[in-house]
Structure 1
Amino acid sequence: MMRGMGNMQGMMKQMQKMQKEMMKEQEALNEKEFIGRSTNDLVKVVFSGDKTMKSMKINPELIDPEDPDMLQDMIILAVNDALTTISKETEQTMGKYTKGLPGF
């Protein structure tokens, strides 16, 4: 009976250790910068890993009052590019923790 309790404690310690590692990796991801680009780098956006936009650079040639749609499309492309990169890297980094765990 007591041996079972020891295993349980060992498992809890293991889980806590894993949780600490997960948090550390998540923090590192959050601090990392991800750059999203539109076609020909006309729009460049910088996000942190927690999906917060930090900056945006727009090529002045793209700012055409006659064609706001083009600018909007390029911004959307760049933002989605950055978010896709963040998602992929988060999945690669954090995926090893969630594999085989119920509820993930």
Structure 2
Amino acid sequence: MDIMKMMKQAKDMQEKMQTMQAEMADETIDGSAGGGMVTVTLSGKGELSGLKIDPSLLVPDDVEILEDLLIAAHSDAKMKADQMMAEKTQSMMQGMGLPPGMKLPGM
């Protein structure tokens, strides 16, 4: 196996990962709960960038329900963001001729 070829492939992969991470940072992902009564928007970096709450949920006696819906909406958005990253990573790796299912360190 040619060590120089392997080093070039590693450098190419690193550059592609940096590009993909920059693209992901520009993405927004919505998650919802309660049939859309609570919607959370995350950036591709996982930062909370938006929150919508149906006014009918703003009842003082139902604070626990609202809290649960916020957590569920955030979990939904996070799961979608993780799935998007996995799909982009898989696509990138296939383009480089790496075997399916190969895991990169830190992923």
TM-score, scaled relative to structure 1: 0.84
Aligned residue for 1:67, secondary structure, equals helix
1:11 aligns with 2:9: no
Q: Distance in 2 between matches of 1:81 and 1:101?
A: 24
Match of residue 79 from structure 1: 74
Question: Alpha carbon RMSD of aligned pairs, Å?
Answer: 2.0
| Deviation of 1:14 (Å) | 1.5
Compared CA separation, residues 53 and 85, structure 1 to 2 (3 A): same
The equivalent of 1:90 in structure 2 is: 85
Gaps of at least 5 residues in structure 2 are none
Larger Cα Rg: Structure 1 or Structure 2?
1
Partner of 1:100: 102
- Paired letter, 1:42: M
1:49 aligned residue (44, 47, 58): 44
Normalized against structure 2, the TM-score is what?
A: 0.81
| Match 2:15 to one of 7, 17, 20 | 20
Match of 1:33 in 2: 28
3-state DSSP class of the match of 2:60? Answer: coil
Task: Find the counterpart in structure 2 of residue 64 from structure 1.
Answer: 59
1:102 deviates by 6.7
Deviations, residues 25-74 of structure 1 (Å, cap 9, x unaligned): 11111210000111221111110111111111111110110110111111
Q: Could you tell me which amino acid in structure 1 is paired with residue 102 of structure 2?
A: G
More helix by share: 1
Report % sequence identity.
25
